[in-house]
């Protein structure tokens, strides 16, 4: 009845309790920690973000020197291949320099412990305070922020929405509101889906994340495909009439019936004609060589006819 040592287990020890679901406050706290981490640390080098900072097509922030080092020597980074595979960064054309306006710097040396993780909590390892040049709000996990392409200046999303003209308020450079505005570290599904559709549009147009033309190989391949399509269309137009006049190719049934007809015709000819051996058995009055045919036929040839009255 008991187990090892005579101990008797209770029902509470035998019945497995269901996995406890995280509460809303716990999920919100975890989401806040993740957002703070992405705004504070480079996912490639795992070091605090510092200028110059770049961003990929997903809106993630990286230290520019880490990205350049990874492009030159990728083996130095342990999980660098997985991190950059998600972002799709293959060259400098796939990143954009993000220009943040720096506000007052805070002394955060006491918070940066072991790469910003202290006692299980993620603390901000970035010393610079980034602010919107229009609203003067701090840009971070608590503010929806965007940057413009090609200039790269960062603003609060609310400030960009109020701009009627498609020109940067800092440098007056023109931008496209559809493809020239990228959200920084998006967390909502709709924002992630918008960035995905943007990548698909740029790929179809042969443009990179920085709105620059793709690699020369891709352009050459696309130009070659376009020329081949145009050439095929011209050939179809020029040879349209000749193609209509050409007879239709014979089908398998037509070829089979023709072959069967030839076979039957040859069989009939063989039946009508006789071989030389068979012809020699019969008398031919018209000898082509002019010789007189032999008397008798195959029934009497070689035999002597008896005289009447004799035996």
Provide mean pLDDT across the span 164-169. 87
More confident position, 69 or 163: 69
pLDDT band with cut points at 50, 70 and 90 for residue 119 = very low
**Each residue's pLDDT tens digit, 245-294:** 555 555 666 777 777 788 788 777 776 666 666 666 665 555 555 555 55
Whole-number Cα distances in Å, 240 to 151, 178, 229: 52, 43, 16
Contact 187, 180 (CB under 8 A): no
d(CA 54, CA 63): 6
pLDDT band with cut points at 50, 70 and 90 for residue 80 = confident
**Each residue's pLDDT tens digit, 190-214:** 999 999 999 999 989 889 888 888 6
pLDDT band with cut points at 50, 70 and 90 for residue 60 = very high
**pLDDT given for residue 82 in this prediction:** 81
Ranges of each domain in the chain: 27-215
User: What pTM was computed for the model?
Assistant: 0.58
Structure tokens at 103: 């506000």
**pLDDT given for residue 298 in this prediction:** 54
d(CA 166, CA 310): 139
Residue 18 has pLDDT above 60, yes or no: yes
């Amino acid at each position: 009845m008991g187990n090892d040592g005579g101990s008797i287990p209770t029902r509470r020890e035998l019945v497995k309790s269901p996995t406890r679901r995280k509460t809303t406050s716990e999920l919100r706290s975890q989401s806040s920690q993740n957002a703070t981490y992405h705004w504070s640390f480079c996912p490639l080098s795992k070091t605090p973000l510092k200028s110059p900072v770049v961003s990929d097509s997903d809106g993630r922030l990286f230290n520019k020197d880490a990205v350049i080092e990874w492009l030159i020597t990728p083996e130095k980074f342990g999980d660098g291949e997985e991190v950059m595979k998600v972002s799709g960064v293959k060259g400098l054309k796939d990143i954009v320099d993000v220009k943040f306006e720096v506000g007052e710097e805070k002394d955060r040396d006491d918070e940066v412990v072991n790469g910003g993780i202290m006692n299980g909590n993620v603390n901000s390892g970035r010393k610079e305070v980034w602010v919107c040049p229009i609203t003067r709000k701090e840009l971070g996990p608590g503010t929806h922020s965007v940057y413009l392409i090609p200039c790269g200046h960062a603003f609060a999303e609310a400030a960009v929405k109020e701009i009627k003209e498609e020109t940067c308020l800092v440098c007056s450079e023109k931008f496209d509101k559809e493809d020239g505005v990228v959200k920084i570290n998006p967390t909502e599904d709709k924002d992630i889906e918008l960035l995905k559709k943007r990548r698909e549009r740029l790929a179809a147009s042969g443009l990179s994340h920085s709105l620059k033309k793709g690699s020369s190989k891709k352009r050459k391949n696309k130009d070659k495909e376009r020329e081949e399509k145009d050439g095929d269309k011209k050939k179809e137009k020029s040879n349209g009439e000749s193609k209509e006049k050409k007879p239709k190719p014979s089908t398998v049934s037509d070829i089979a019936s023709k072959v069967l007809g030839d076979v039957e015709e040859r069989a009939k000819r063989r039946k009508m004609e006789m071989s030389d051996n068979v012809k020699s058995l019969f008398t031919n009055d018209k000898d082509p060589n002019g010789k007189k045919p032999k008397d008798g036929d195959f029934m009497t040839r070689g035999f002597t006819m008896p005289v009447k009255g004799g035996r």
